[in-house]
Structure formats: C-alpha cells, structure tokens
Structure 1
C-alpha cells in the first residue's frame, strides 16, 4: 500500500510539472503572438532636406549628403517624421506609436536628456515650449506621417531615435525599432523662447554668413583679414561633438548657452591640456605645425582635429576667435568676432596696467608686486561676442556677451583657462560682481596705464609717476552686417561705445571707478597719490603708414609752458615685437639732454633706416616705440609708447570674369617680394565660401625683390556671390593676404 501511494504521488508530481510546462509554453506562444500583433516598423523617414529648409539648416553639408543625409533640426520647432510598416497597416484606436529621443550614454527624462513622445491622431497641435509633443497628421496604406516638436530648452548635439509600437490594453512589451542614424538638434535663434533668440534680419550675418573678416594689427594700421568660418562644412558638427565629449561637460547642461559658451572658451584652446582644438604658440617657431598666419579659416583646423583626435598646431588669438565663431554659429548661437586695438592684460586684478621703473628710470622686465606675473599690452587682441538672454543676471544685462578663447589668465571663478560670458552692459557699467570674468574684460578695454618708480619711502615701495587714462581700448572693431569689402574696410564697424562710454567723459570715469570699488586690491592702487607738478607738455608723434623697406622717423615734441628754463632728458627706443606685446629685438635707441627755453618748443627725432629693422622684424612686422623723459627742475616724468606695423604688399588675385559651377576656372595669384632676402618654403593657401574647397599651391624659392606669380584652377560647386581668399606663407615672410568677390553662374 505504501509503495502504491509513493507511485501515485510521483505520477501526480509529474502531471503537475507537465501542466506547468504546458501553461508556460502557452504563455510564451501567446506572448509571441501578441508581440507579432504590434506594428513592425520597416523604415523611418526624417525628411532631412524638407525639415532643414524650415529650420534654416539647409546649408549644412551633412543634410545634403546624397547617400546618408543626417537631419539637422532646431529646438522648439516642429519637424515632420514618417513611418513605414511591414506586415499590416496602422489601426487607429488600436495601435500605439511612441518616439523616444535619447541624448548621451545614460538618457534620463528628469534631466531632459530623454524624451518620450506619444503620437496621437490630430491634424495640428500647438507646441508647448518646455515639453516635447507630437501628433499623427496623416495616414496612408502602409505608413503614417507625424509632426514632432522638441523642447526649446533641450540639450543641443547628437540625439538617437527609437520607435516603440504596441497595441491598446496589451500587457506585453512594445516592439522597439532602432533608427540607424543620429540627428542633430541645435539652438534656435529664430525662436522667441530660446535664450539665444535674435532679431531675424541680423541672423543672416551672425548665424548664416560663413565668410567674414577679423581685424588685426596695431591701432594706426589695422586691417580686416578675411576668414572662412565654414560652419556648414561636413566635418564641423562631428568635430564639435568630439570637442564636447573631450570637455566632459554634463549632458544635461548642453542646452544652456551660458554654460556651453563658457565651455567653448575653454575647449577651443588646449591650455589646460584637455585635448582642446588648437594649441597656442607665440614664439614664431612653427616647424612642427602650421603657422597661425597661414590659416585661411576654421574648416582645415576642425577637419584635422576631427580626423586626428588631437589638438592642432598652431593658433593665436584671432585663430582662436575664428574657430570659436565657427563653433558657435554651427551650434546656432549668434556670434561675432571682436578686435580690441591696444588691449590690456591685467595679471593681478588691479584694473590697471602697471609698468615699473628703477631709480634711474630704467623699465623693469618684471612686476615687483606680483611675482611670476606681469601686466602687458597687446597691439591688438581678438575675442568673440555671443548673443543670449541672461536669466542669471538682473534685467538689462542680456544681449551681447564677451567670451575669450585665448588663454591669458585662469578664470577667477573656476581656476582654468576660460573667460566669459561677460555681459557687455556689465563691462560698460563696471559691474564686476556679475558672472563671468567681468573685471578682466573691463581691464582689457578700459584700464589705466600706470607707471611706477622705485621709492623706498612709499608704502608699496613704488610711487606713481604717470597715468594714461586713454591708451587702453583705443578702438573695438567687428565686421558690419551684410557687407563684405574684399579691397578695403568699408565693412568695418566700430563698436567701442558698446563696451565703454566715450573716453574722457564723466560716464567713462564713473564706470571705471565703479569697477575699482568692487576690488579691494584695485581700490588701493587707484587711491595712491601721484605727482602733478607738470609744466612741460610732451607728445610722441604717431607714425603714419610705413611700407616695408622704407626708412622712418620717430619724433617727440616738447612744449615748455613755464616762464623758466627746463632741462629735459629724453630716451627713445624702437623695438620689434610680437603682437601680444612681447619684445623680440631692440632695433635702435637714442638718448639726449637739452635745455628748453621758457614758452618755447623743440623736437627730438630718431631716424631709423631699413637696414636696421628689416632683419629684426618678426611675424606681422609689429614695432613699438618707447619714450621716457624727465624734467630736472620739477622731477616731472613722462612716459609714452606707440605701436605700429609696417605695411606689407597684398596678393593680387585675377580670375576670369565669367565663372561657372563645376567648370575649372583659371586663377592667378601675384605679388612682389619686398625683402632683400630670398623666400623659401613658399606656399599659397586658397579658400573661400563653403562652395569652394580649399587648396594649397606650393611655390619655389623667390629671389630678393622677385615677382611671385602662381597659376592654378578653381572649382566652384554653387552659384551666387562667392568669396575667394588667399594667404601666402614662407619661412621669411608671412601674413600676405588677398581676396576677391566673384559672381558664379550655373553650368552652361
């Protein structure tokens, strides 16, 4: 009996196991059947070119790729998307379709890096700004078309897409379709709710213009240098995405233009050794890279950065600014390039540019009050303005914001090499307590140039002997919207008054003193006493244009306004300098002492011949005149300086009057070597609008005074007005440029 019970229990147990297996198999089969009932997505259409036209992104080459077009969209704006199904048709009321947009490796709805858009049937819907929305707008036999609108606050960059399909009241998992292509979502300056919104007519210049100018050179000889931004080139957006990854910026912060432009100012340079885009170099030695003056634009730089995944050698301030403009415009942030002629570099937050002298009036080559750092004055310095609202600041501080991608000083708020965004309104009013780096920018455009002489009796060991209130920030320039002048400066716009009040006006002094009050260190420097017993008026006469190879004179004019004889001691020194103010070579020097009769005037002249300066010029051919004078009877001390640049020839570009698309067009580049030495390792870089591919033309050695004439062919793939830019580079002579505007017609 016991054995029979064991046998019966065993049989019962086996039946239970079999029944469980049967039920499990039925459930699995039922689940698979239900899964099979879900719509099967065969294809997703993003209508790249149609959406691009409405989103002002139809110039991006990735959109127009004939084999693999990648959508480029602007946030906060509707776009069309289509779905084609296999197996069966879409059934209204039964089928659910959701589109999932993912950003970054760990997308999260709460952080704004993931969006789930459930598509409902409606003919139209009203965008809701901060939310992603979508709706099915039409249906065909095997497909549906929908409209989706992203949030105007969503992060910008590369997004991935999934499509989820399920049936109504189903308890089973949805079917997921992975779209095999990414899409770009950018800032939308045409959208009034986007922080970067700007008046529509200005966006033709600050977003869509892909060729511009950057003003370089000292105050009396600055010139507009053509630069190809090329923000629509196929390599630009991928290079920017790589830069974003190298920055390690949180994904959820990449929709904030304030944080993003600050990061851009850090990552365009490589000063923090974070694999930024461009390595800075100011020593004139470029054998292991490209000389900054040889670049014609940003595209070649960003292409090399993207292909090699390493920083590109080399750049200087205007190269950093050109690349920054490309990055910002490509991402949808309105941007302009700004050149500050006579730019202050305040290394110790005094809001003054300080120069120190010993007891014998010899200038010190160090700052005795700031060991390891020294203020400097750049002949010119170039940075960028970006346009945005500033919800983090009080009302009235939005609009143009300065960012600087050239590594000068670490930011006071982060300790790394980044600068801005600093509100131009805050700079102009001296509101140094506002983010970011406003004090540094105030000093760049409006610091006083202060001279100090060693004095053991003074509290700091130095006494202020001279102060020039009007030297720094001589003029700030940018390109005027909608104009391009290939032969002159008719496209130059003076924006000095956007950065500071008129020099020598009460408003200008009030704003500077307002900034000084915000810094205890600066306040101490500005409150120190100064000597004012001055009755001899001295002036360093600014030089007019000097062509390379010509002699020139340096002159100091002196007027004795007193009724007594004055004994003057004057020293004049001419030096070649790099554009950031660093001295390269001393060219000539003269010293003199003479009596100046009461109420009379006189002049001291230094004649500089070409033989003395030609061999000592460095790139950009900048020179500085430094003058210092003292009056024995009154202990008056006067100091002044002037920066100037010898003028180089420009490239004469000859091109056929009739240029057609996709037809090789002859082009000739020509200029004369102005030097008495041969030019070696010569090359022309030719570039232009996005329709013109850049090319390099090598040229043999050029004899002293020889004519350089290079013939090549140009291929243009789009009609309309196109800008052609050429730059000549050699070991002995750099920064020779030229440009021409040509009208291109469709192929006959």
Structure 2
C-alpha cells in the first residue's frame, strides 16, 4: 500500500494549524478542504478511464465517497474532488473536505484508484480533525479575526486574581502548540468514561461542542475519572507541586499523559481553568479564562451566604457556604442549537470540582446570556453560576452562641467579572454580560492601585457605624496603613469598645488564626465621629501572608447597651515584580540566539533566597532554572538567560521566583519574533 503526500506545509497554512507543525500527523479543520497528492508511479492518471474513491475512518465509523471533478463540495457532508484545470497526471491532487459538523478526532483514510473498474492501487494516510471557528457553517464560528487570534491562536494569557479593588494579573503560558500537548488533548477525549463506555457513540457525539465541553470539563479534574488534575486546598502540597508554582499548561498535560493518565498534583481553580482553556483551544473551540471576584459558593441553593464573626472581630468557620475572593472558570464560544438558538455565544464552564452536574463533577456549558436573564429552566447548571455572581451576604456577630448583630449586603458578590482583553495584557470587564447591575469597577484595569471607596461591609444599626478603609494599596515590604472611622449617630455620649482583628486567609476559605489585633475603648460625644489610624508593620505580616490575603475586621460595642456593629475589608498585599529585559528586543529572529536578563530587588525587611524559573512557549524548550542566593533587604540580583525562538509571532517570556517562604514573585516580557 502506497503513502500519499499530505502537502503538510500548504494544508497547515490553509487551516490555521501551522503551530502544530511538530505533530507527526496532518492537522486540519472541518468545513474546509485539504489537499493530498497521489504519486502515480506505474502509470499516469487518465480522467477518461480512471476513478478514485476515498474511505475515511474514525474508529469503526466510516464513510466512502467518490472523487468528483466539482469544486462545489457542500459543507454539510463529506466530499472529495479533483481540480481538472492544471491536473498533473503523474502526481494528481485530491481535495478532501470534512463537513462542518464532523467529529473531532484522529482519522485514517484509504484512497482507492480504479481503471476500467479494476482496482489498480491503494494509498493511505492519517489526519487530525479539529473544529473550525473560521468556517461560518461550524457551530464554533466566531466572526472576527482578532477574536480568533486571541481565543484560538494566542499561546499566552493573563489570569486575574487578588481582590476586586487590587487586581493581580498572573502570566500563564497556554502551550497549545508545544510538543505533545495536541496528543495529550486528544488522548483526554479517548480516556474519558464516555469513550470507554461506548466508543461509537462518543465518536458520533464529538461533532457537538456542547458535548465536547462537558467531557473536557469533567476530565480536567480527577474526581470521577482518570482526569488531569488533583485539587488541593489544604495548604499541604507535599507529594506534588504547589498550585501557585505552575506557570503553564504544557507541563501539566505532558506529565499527565506520560504518567499513564494519573492525576497531576496539585491544582486550584485558576490552574483547572487555564488547563481547560488550553484543551479547548487545541480542539478548535474559542475559549477564554474568566475571573469572578467575591464568588459565592451556595451549597443549599437559597442564594444566601452566611458569615459569622466573634465579638472581637475574628471570622469563624461555621457554615458550608463560602465566598471565594476570586474564582476562575472559562467561557467557550458556540452555537446552542439544543436551546433554540437565542442562547448562542459565550458559555460558562467550570472544571473545578465544586458541585455535581448530572452526577459528575463538571459545570456547564451555561449560556452567559441565560445567567443574566436567570433562565434556570435551561441547560446546564445555570442556577449554580447565577448564585456565584448574585448571592446575598448575611454577616453576623456572635457572642456566647447568640447572634447579636446581623447585616445584609446585596452588592458584595460578583462586583467584577473579567477576562483578558483582546490583543493586550489588560483586563476586560464582562460583569455586564452576567448581571444587570452596573459594576462599580467598569474602568478598573489590571494594574490599578486604587482602593475601594466603600468598605466591603459597613452596615449596622442606625445608632452607630464603623467605616474601615485602607489608606492605600498594601505593598510587600511596606507598612499596611488603614483607617477606622467610628460614628455615633445618637445625640448622647457613648463609650465604645473597639476590636480590630487581622487574619491570614486563602482566597477560597475561612481565615486562619489571628496574626495582628488591637483592642481599645473610645469615648464619643453626641453625634461625634472619631478617626482611628492603625498600621501593621512588615515584620508582623511578612512571615504569614505570602500569596494569601488578609481578612481585616472591626467590631464596635456600645458598653451601655452591648449593641454591636461590624466592618470588614479583605485585601491582598501586592507582591514585587521581576524585571525582565530583552537585549535588542526589536530584532528578535527565528532560530537565532538572543539574551535576556531577570532582575529581582528584595523589598522585604529580611534576607530572601529562592529558585528562579524562566520559560516561554516558542522561545525556550522547557524551563531554565537557577538558584538565587540570599539577598539582603533592598539588595538586587540579576540572572542572564540565552534563548532561541522556534516560532514566529507575539510570544511571552515569563519568569517566576519561588522564595524560601513559598511565596512567588513573577515577571514577564512580551516580544515579537520575525522570520530572518
């Protein structure tokens, strides 16, 4: 049996799959023809007597089609044709076109040549078929080229974390074009329970991005299957990698595949979402990573989150409901023919294992439009996503087992929902896509340093009030300064106990023990206001905060009536950045050696050391790791790196420094690589 010429260079260019040139197979997209050539060694092809047939196979599914001389091949079914104009009889070309609704997967084909109805020779080949957002007939078609470039082709991204008032952008390498990533993504479909239960039906359903996205959402976590990632929110990452240490999807997907599909340890929400985004982009489904700040996890479906504080301002863990400072999921772009057509567009999907959907830990696709319109009658998981962005928060102060103060905040959950902007490393606000209320952060950018003009919670009785605000955005190594304004709203003097409490907290859980507190008694005259200034010194927080956040709370108690009021502010401490510089960065060329430098200046009040890791899809093979020796407070260290670009286009060189206290410092540089 002969081999055909797959004309890989031409086909990859035509199908926008040049990034997969390292793959051993031809990678093409459905709904568009690809060309193969037939080496007719024994005799030239005679259009008068010779005919061709092609049999295409996906597992045990197959279709056989004649090769015609008509270019008008429909996008609704498989077709193959020859162009009679300029036909080379000794090396004729055949164009094969998969329908725009063909299933994603690894295909094989056989080409049969007949002369006077007698078989003369057979040839065979293989190709990988992906969805096609460039094809109008495809259910993942997205209309603008800059969107396709961002949501399919872009191999770098920024994940947004921190708090809504101090957003932190974290660089992430999507790695969809790195070696072995395509194969791992296709294997993910084959390892899934759906494929193992019924291969034929799985292959048939793979034509539908709704089905594919649910399979992938479940397979990114390992709770029900041989999925990619094992979650860990315990704080103990022994036996695996700290979730904050990952910088890209490639290492995770390769590790999973090379281990025989054992889950990679460990992931948290942004890792789950970023890896899913990579898989969906590989499969040809437009995808982006989305962050919801103050994201509610409503376990009982009542759209109410309850939080409890002690009478001295310590936050207590006494409910399964919670508010994550941020939660990260993905959106995929697709047509929803199963919902009648008016729910097309962005669909929310969440691979982080929180709640089961039809018995499986996955979430979505939930049409973002349906979330906004509260269409809880539609598929999939719309009530859960709706609660994440709309729940009310009831905050209670507890004394001797009894609730002594209760406040309700209807604005705290989901004040900012965002994703990366198209074509630049900035934040794009999509809150209005999910909610009818206008976001107070509509002009907030990823490098904003502004503080909230309102405290997270400052409601209480009408007799007194507490207003807690940060003086400025806290920065690592600096003093945390904040103001507590105490208000007496009555025309009589009051004595008040004032308790202020600071606890370290992870973004998704209740705080740990108190690391700083202050207790005082204040006398206020009638209708009086007092401003109390506080500060937390670097030595008091540097050893505990790291990448975590701070829960700051103040409780006022009227000593006469014992009435209480609570104010809360949760914030992150901005970490320093690595400075990445490229020598002669305007003249970066393919396959030529270039040099970069990474500089870190220690802002902390004590010496630090750590391990520096530098990576870049299309710039470096793997990671370059260096040990950074102790730097005194205020001291700087620089590491030089050589790299040889292997791909053209806009690329990201990123650096991550893991310090001895397990916190991470990051930096990046966007560069453009050109052909020589």
Q: Which range, TM-score by smaller chain? A: 0.7 to 0.9
Q: Pick from 735, 744, 748 the counterpart of residue 664 of structure 2.
A: 735
Number of the residue aligned with 1:266: 218
Question: How far off is 1:575 after superposition?
Answer: 0.8
- The Cα offsets for residues 150-170 of structure 1, whole Å up to 9 and x where unpaired, read as 111111121111223456667
- List aligned pairs for 1:597-676, cutoff 5 A: 597-618=525-546, 620-630=547-557, 637-657=564-584, 658-676=587-605
Could you tell me how far apart the structure 2 residues matched to 1:633 and 1:390 are?
62
Number of the residue aligned with 2:248: 297
Report if the CA contact (8 A) 2:392-2:411 is conserved.
yes
Instruction: Select the structure of larger CA radius of gyration.
Output: 1
Number of the residue aligned with 1:213: 158
Number of the residue aligned with 1:77: 32
Partner SS, residue 465 of structure 1: strand
Could you tell me how far apart the structure 2 residues matched to 1:256 and 1:346 are?
30
1:548–1:744 Cα change, 3 Å: same
Report if the CA contact (8 A) 2:538-2:604 is conserved.
no
- Report whether the alignment pairs 1:50 with 2:5: no
- Report whether the alignment pairs 1:716 with 2:645: yes
Report if the CA contact (8 A) 1:720-1:744 is conserved.
yes
- The Cα offsets for residues 509-528 of structure 1, whole Å up to 9 and x where unpaired, read as xxxxxxxxxxxxxxxxxxxx
Partner SS, residue 356 of structure 2: coil
Q: Pick from 447, 465, 471 the counterpart of residue 412 of structure 2.
A: 471
Number of the residue aligned with 2:100: 152
Question: How far off is 1:701 after superposition?
Answer: 3.5
Question: How far off is 1:290 after superposition?
Answer: 2.6
Number of the residue aligned with 1:126: 73
Q: Pick from 89, 97, 105 the counterpart of residue 141 of structure 1.
A: 89
1:232–1:349 Cα change, 3 Å: same
Higher mean C-alpha deviation, range 386-395 or range 92-101: 92-101
Could you tell me how far apart the structure 1 residues matched to 2:243 and 2:525 are?
51
The answer for unaligned runs of 5 or more in structure 2 is: 195-201, 441-458
Report if the CA contact (8 A) 1:344-1:353 is conserved.
yes
Number of the residue aligned with 1:17: none
- Report whether the alignment pairs 1:545 with 2:447: no
Could you tell me how far apart the structure 2 residues matched to 1:613 and 1:463 are?
31
- The Cα offsets for residues 651-710 of structure 1, whole Å up to 9 and x where unpaired, read as 112321254433332322111233455545x32222224244332222154244343322
- Report whether the alignment pairs 1:410 with 2:356: yes
- List aligned pairs for 1:568-587, cutoff 5 A: 568-587=496-515
Number of the residue aligned with 2:622: 694
1:701–1:602 Cα change, 3 Å: same
Question: How far off is 1:434 after superposition?
Answer: 1.6
Number of the residue aligned with 2:451: none
Number of the residue aligned with 1:495: 430
Report if the CA contact (8 A) 1:117-1:134 is conserved.
yes
Q: Pick from 100, 114, 123 the counterpart of residue 55 of structure 2.
A: 100
1:537–1:137 Cα change, 3 Å: same
Higher mean C-alpha deviation, range 639-648 or range 415-424: 639-648
Report if the CA contact (8 A) 2:205-2:211 is conserved.
yes
Could you tell me how far apart the structure 2 residues matched to 1:205 and 1:345 are?
30
Question: How far off is 1:721 after superposition?
Answer: 4.4
Q: Pick from 156, 161, 172 the counterpart of residue 227 of structure 1.
A: 172
Higher mean C-alpha deviation, range 353-362 or range 263-272: 353-362
1:142–1:314 Cα change, 3 Å: same
Report if the CA contact (8 A) 2:313-2:501 is conserved.
no
1:80–1:659 Cα change, 3 Å: closer
Number of the residue aligned with 2:327: 381
Question: How far off is 1:226 after superposition?
Answer: 1.4
Could you tell me how far apart the structure 2 residues matched to 1:736 and 1:425 are?
37
Report if the CA contact (8 A) 1:296-1:685 is conserved.
no
TM-score when normalising by structure 1: 0.79
1:708–1:585 Cα change, 3 Å: farther
- Report whether the alignment pairs 1:442 with 2:386: yes
Aligned-CA RMSD value: 3.0
Question: How far off is 1:87 after superposition?
Answer: 3.9
Could you tell me how far apart the structure 2 residues matched to 1:493 and 1:391 are?
28
Could you tell me how far apart the structure 1 residues matched to 2:311 and 2:481 are?
29
Report if the CA contact (8 A) 2:464-2:565 is conserved.
no
Question: How far off is 1:470 after superposition?
Answer: 0.9
Report if the CA contact (8 A) 1:277-1:311 is conserved.
yes
Could you tell me how far apart the structure 2 residues matched to 1:666 and 1:357 are?
53
1:464–1:559 Cα change, 3 Å: closer
1:137–1:660 Cα change, 3 Å: closer
1:286–1:664 Cα change, 3 Å: farther
Partner SS, residue 324 of structure 1: helix
Higher mean C-alpha deviation, range 684-693 or range 331-340: 684-693
- The Cα offsets for residues 614-665 of structure 1, whole Å up to 9 and x where unpaired, read as 22224x1421112344557788654342221222211112321254433332
Partner SS, residue 354 of structure 1: strand
Report if the CA contact (8 A) 2:33-2:96 is conserved.
yes
- List aligned pairs for 1:172-191, cutoff 5 A: 177=122, 179=124, 181-191=125-135
Question: How far off is 1:137 after superposition?
Answer: 2.3
- Report whether the alignment pairs 1:726 with 2:655: yes
Question: How far off is 1:378 after superposition?
Answer: 1.5
How many residue pairs are counted as aligned between the two chains?
Answer: 644
Partner SS, residue 702 of structure 1: strand
Question: How far off is 1:403 after superposition?
Answer: 0.9
1:191–1:720 Cα change, 3 Å: closer
Report if the CA contact (8 A) 2:348-2:367 is conserved.
yes
Number of the residue aligned with 1:236: 181
Question: How far off is 1:556 after superposition?
Answer: 2.6
Question: How far off is 1:220 after superposition?
Answer: 2.4
Number of the residue aligned with 1:521: none
TM-score when normalising by structure 2: 0.87
Could you tell me how far apart the structure 2 residues matched to 1:237 and 1:601 are?
63
